[in-house]
Amino acid sequence: MDNTTLTPASYAQANEAAYLAELIEFLRIPSISTQPERADDVAAAAAWMAGAMRDAGIENVRLIKTARHPLIYGDWLHAGPEAPTVLIYGHYDVQPADPLELWESPPFEPDVRGDYLYARGSSDDKGQAYVHVKAVEAYLKTNGRLPVNVKFIIEGEEESGGESLEAFIPQNKELLAADIALVSDTGILSPDQPAIVYGLRGMCYMLLDITGPGRDLHSGSFGGGIDNPLNALSHIIAKLKDEDGHVLIPGFYDGVRPLTDDEREVLSQLPRDEEKWLAETGAPQLWGEPEFALVERLGARPTLDVNGIIGGYTGAGGKTVLPSHAHAKISMRLVPDQDPQEIERLFREYVTKIAPPTVNVTMKNLSSSPASVTDYTMPAMVAAAAAYEQVFGKSPVYMREGGSIPVIAAFQTHLGLETVLMGFGLPDDRIHSPNERFYLPNFYRGIQTSIRFLEEFGKSES
């Protein structure tokens, strides 16, 4: 086929089946960044992505070693000095797949059922990151050029805090310099209602270690005389928030920037179907701070959650024991203008105060990143809205999301770069859960939307 007779959009459309086959290959690699024993798989996924970028015609593609997982850089910079530069970010690492028994098809054996591709990482974020590689390829294989300069920076640690990229950015400002960052690692409201996310929450993630006796003790001989670290941990956890979801750490809310009336109004008009949203979770009821609307609780209010508790006997039957230690993983989602370091300090101070003297407590920070908000009237947002409208037939709504992408704040701080979060996920993609999936029409529309965005942004003055 002589590709030069095709437009980028029609080329991408003609190659959908091939793109799906490639994505399936990528998804077979279990690149779980939090688990050290998966480091080789993570490296293999990086190498795969670098190869795919080279095949797409992206230049200067290289793997960059870091203290943990490799970064991938690549660019195409021949659009001319007047043309704007877009820095495209994505991540090739994925969340752990457990509990494995709940998957209907194995997490790393991608399976197409109906309109969906099932696999860990299909939506978050391999499928969404791949969208842009294919959009760029569609230009280079047809027109032989792009309407803008592009740079890619793809990381392998997003799901475990993103430290290596965060360290890399301030030292490579020139390499990463751009006019705008473009990221697809969020979702839209429904297949026919696109959305641009203009705010993400930040994170302060703490590990709490409680130790008591020097060994596990018989709970009959010692129970009543020696404190039990699991019980002590439960008391500490119970004092962190009240039953309505208000965090009880003094000063926790001091930095929270209240929503303006305008923003409350914008958010209240989001066409989110709360009943459907609840039904998809399987929970019996909605929950959270009663004085805030759901959309505000998810996007504009901070939270505190226990993600995991480790300790004691969890095998078959009963074992009568006072465990010698107990641990909890606790995350706090932050909003503008809470400072993650200050929140960590307040958390440590409060836990130290409420911990009983009968156990020893140590705390470790596992991840810290501030929240981010972007101006939704800037030219790149206008270009993104036009692109969505052309492909989805409807203009996007603007919303804040509850999740976090640590690098966005680092782009702002070190590179002065604003980000367009142009997502293609859906609320029922089950990211981080069993049976994660990507709605395939959104994969293909994503490629089309990226093609249009590059075109539109090339036309706008940046």
> Using CB under 5 A as the criterion, which residues of the chain lie in contact with Zn ion when the complex forms?
124-125, 185
- Say which entry of ligand BES, Zn ion, none residue 155 contacts (CB below 5 to 8 A, set by partner kind): none
- Say which entry of Zn ion, ligand BES, none residue 30 contacts (CB below 5 to 8 A, set by partner kind): none
Site for ligand BES in 190-249 (CB under 6 A): 203
Q: Does 161 bind ligand BES (CB under 6 A)?
A: yes
Stretch that binds ligand BES, among 167-175, 264-272, 276-284, 399-407 (CB under 6 A): 399-407
Structure tokens that stand for 366 in this block: 């596992």
Q: Please state the closest distance from residue 368 (CB atom) to ligand BES, in A.
A: 9
Considering the complex, state which of residue 27 and residue 405 has its C-beta at the smaller distance from ligand BES. 405
- Say which entry of ligand BES, Zn ion, none residue 460 contacts (CB below 5 to 8 A, set by partner kind): none
Three-state helix/strand/coil letters over the chain: CCHHHCCHHHHHHHCHHHHHHHHHHHHCCCCECCCHHHHHHHHHHHHHHHHHHHHCCCEEEEEECCCCCCEEEEEECCCCCCCCEEEEEEECCECCCCCHHHCCCCCCCCEEECCEEECCCCCCCHHHHHHHHHHHHHHHHHCCCCCCEEEEEEECCHHHCCHHHHHHHHHCHHHHCCCEEEECCCECCECCECEEEEEECEEEEEEEEEECCCCCEECCCCECCECCHHHHHHHHHHCCECCCCCECCCCCCCCCCCCCHHHHHHHHCCCCCHHHHHHHHCCCCCCCCCCCCHHHHHHCCCEEEEEEEEECCCCCCCCCEECCEEEEEEEEEECCCCCHHHHHHHHHHHHHHHCCCCCEEEEEEEEEECCEECCCCCHHHHHHHHHHHHHHCCCCEEEECCCCCCHHHHHHHHHCCCEEECCCECCCCCCCCCCCEEEHHHHHHHHHHHHHHHHHHHHCCC
Considering the complex, state which of residue 196 and residue 249 has its C-beta at the smaller distance from ligand BES. 196
- Say which entry of Zn ion, ligand BES, none residue 203 contacts (CB below 5 to 8 A, set by partner kind): ligand BES
Considering the complex, state which of residue 84 and residue 162 has its C-beta at the smaller distance from Zn ion. 162
Q: Does 186 bind ligand BES (CB under 6 A)?
A: yes
Considering the complex, state which of residue 125 and residue 227 has its C-beta at the smaller distance from Zn ion. 125
Considering the complex, state which of residue 348 and residue 432 has its C-beta at the smaller distance from Zn ion. 432
Q: Please state the closest distance from residue 299 (CB atom) to ligand BES, in A.
A: 10
Site for ligand BES in 328-387 (CB under 6 A): 367
Number of residues binding to ligand BES, judged by CB under 6 A: 15
Smallest Cα–Cα separation from 407: which of 150, 156, 163?
163
Q: Please state the closest distance from residue 151 (CB atom) to ligand BES, in A.
A: 21
Q: Which of 401, 428, 429, 456 binds ligand BES (CB under 6 A)?
A: 401
Q: Please state the closest distance from residue 161 (CB atom) to ligand BES, in A.
A: 6
Q: Please state the closest distance from residue 439 (CB atom) to ligand BES, in A.
A: 15
Considering the complex, state which of residue 15 and residue 372 has its C-beta at the smaller distance from ligand BES. 372
Considering the complex, state which of residue 189 and residue 391 has its C-beta at the smaller distance from ligand BES. 189
- Say which entry of Zn ion, ligand BES, none residue 186 contacts (CB below 5 to 8 A, set by partner kind): ligand BES
Q: Does 406 bind ligand BES (CB under 6 A)?
A: yes
Site for ligand BES in 292-311 (CB under 6 A): none
The residues facing 154 across adjacent strands are 72, 90
Contact residues for ligand BES (CB under 6 A)? 124-125, 158-159, 161, 185-187, 203, 367, 401, 403-406
